[in-house]
Amino acid sequence: MTRFPNPTDLPLEKLVAQLMVVRTTGFLFDRQLQYPQWEADLARLQKLIQTYGVGGVILLGGSAAEVALKNQQMQAWAALPLLICADIEEGVGQRFGGATWFPPPMALGGMAKTDLAGAVAMAEAMGQATAKEALAIGINWLLTPTVDVNNNPANPVINVRAFGETSETVSVLTAAYIKGAKQAGALTTAKHFPGHGDTATDSHWNLPVIAHDRDRLKAVELKPFRHAIDNGVDTVMGGHLIVPALDEGPTTFSKAVMGELLRGELGFEGVVVTDAMVMGAIADGYGNGEAVVRAIEAGNDVIMMPLEAEGAIEAVIEAVNTGRIGRSQIEASVARIFKLKESLVLQTSPVNAEWLQKTQAQDEAAQAVEEIMYGSLEVRRSPFFDLQPGWRNIIFTDNLLASPFIHRTAPAIAIPQGKGGETKIIDCAMGSGELPRDWLPQDTVIQIFLRGNPLRGIEAAVDCAKLWLKWLGDSGRLRAVVVYGSPYVAAELKVLIADEVSWVFCYGQMGDGQAIALGELWGDRLGDKGKDGMFA
């Protein structure tokens, strides 16, 4: 195990660099950068790790095998082992191809409404499976679970990322998730403190205002954080918020929130990390260096995704040299970071290629996915469900180009095709959402892929879907509606559907969810899986 130096013995520039987590792609080659304004290319990444000595890296994109190789490379560059993290709220497969993709956490909240004990067991299984797969490819820090209470259906940024709509449900399910992840040995994160659930504003663009008084915050928003802390969560991530009952300014910069409340009242002794500092709520108003300095002044230990890491490091060094921030505060933050790193078995050994194939762990993860999906599924199969030859399979989406779920071999296309359906795709983003004028009435199944998405709203797409459902319903040939993703969207649309029309709602939009939902529609419990298991 690596022996970490005493922070008091490190030069200031190396201390400050340990506070920074920089972003890069999981793909291996620079030409594969998807967000070059945020992601370091290989040369810059190597310099940030080798020369500056940054403390961590956040990854997005690539396959599990590529990520494993990249993580080995980065750890080999580092003088002190790195914390390597990812937003994998729906399992490793959400971000990295080939690994297990779970339904969103709110599926467990849906399951809990009828089977709380089963939901708790599956939350633990999800945490353990996610941690096992993450560690196997060199990701040692899970930026999960989301412990926000999503009690605002219009929330565009939390939404189905939350485990539920009440503090009680969120508390018990996130505690189980943390237990599972800790059993596997990965670090966990409770986010977004002090609670990002009751807002209709996306903090990627603007600062949401949480206008509740302290009593309400304590009873609802703060309860799951206290529960997560009591159950050993390793890190707490703050949200970019305005909570007037706590402080007039952004919570990210608030000593009252990050210090007095989180450290003092809630007793958290672990690592406090900011949300991404490139988000518009912070970056547009405060820039790079000043934002980072203010965040550290407030008591944050780790800076996630500064706009420009080199400049952020220089700004903090200057703040220490001018007396704005005490060196002892930086040393205390680094001591907490080193304590986390010492608790890990950091992967530097060659990739285990056998894991990248089908393993027992993956079988267990796939079983957990299936149980969560079935446990949260909503089905109403009409006795009148009968499709005449020439029937249409209409797939509706708000943005096809942004969807990883709809492709040539996706079950949403392949299963209906195998049953004689002709597929048509309606893409609102490409302007194909207008009602056709020349279609002859035919039996129709419509599959709708809509969920709350950070960075883009779906209100226009929901309105468009309503028009299509009314038009198809008025034709008398609508036979079934399958909605994937958001229970809030599903509730809005279900009231438009006649009782004699079959109805399925599934939280998961990925292939496994499609196969299970369509299997239920046609009365096939396991869907059209094929002999090799669930769809990718």
Q: CA-CA distance, 416 to 401, in Å (whole number)?
A: 22
- As given in the structure block, the two tokens for residue 140 are 């040692």
* Token couple for 304: 């996630």
81 contacts 109 by C-beta, under 8 angstroms: no
Q: What is the dihedral of CA 510, 512, 518, 519, to 10 degrees?
A: 180
- Beta pairing, strands 378-380 & 502-506: antiparallel
| Neighbouring residues of 509: CB distance < 8 A, sequence distance ≥ 6 | 403, 405, 449, 451, 484, 485
Q: Please state, in angstroms and rounded to a whole number, the distance separating the CA atoms of residues 59 and 43.
A: 16
Which entry of 202, 247, 275, 398 is annotated as an active-site residue? 275
Q: What is the CA radius of gyration of the chain?
A: 24
Query: Is 363 a known active-site residue?
Result: no
**CB atoms near residue 126 (< 10 Å):** 31
Q: Which of 484, 490, 475 is nearest to 444 (CA)?
A: 475
Strands 141-142 and 422-427: unpaired
In the chain, the amino acid numbered 20 is: M
Paired strand residues for 236: 190, 272
**Residues in Cβ contact with 446 at an 8 Å cutoff, skipping those fewer than 6 apart:** 394, 395, 396, 468, 469, 472, 478, 480, 481, 482
Q: Out of 196, 204, 227, 240, pick the active-site residue.
A: 204
Q: Is 204 a catalytic residue?
A: yes
**Start-to-end Cα distance in the chain:** 37
Q: Catalytic residue numbers? A: 204, 275
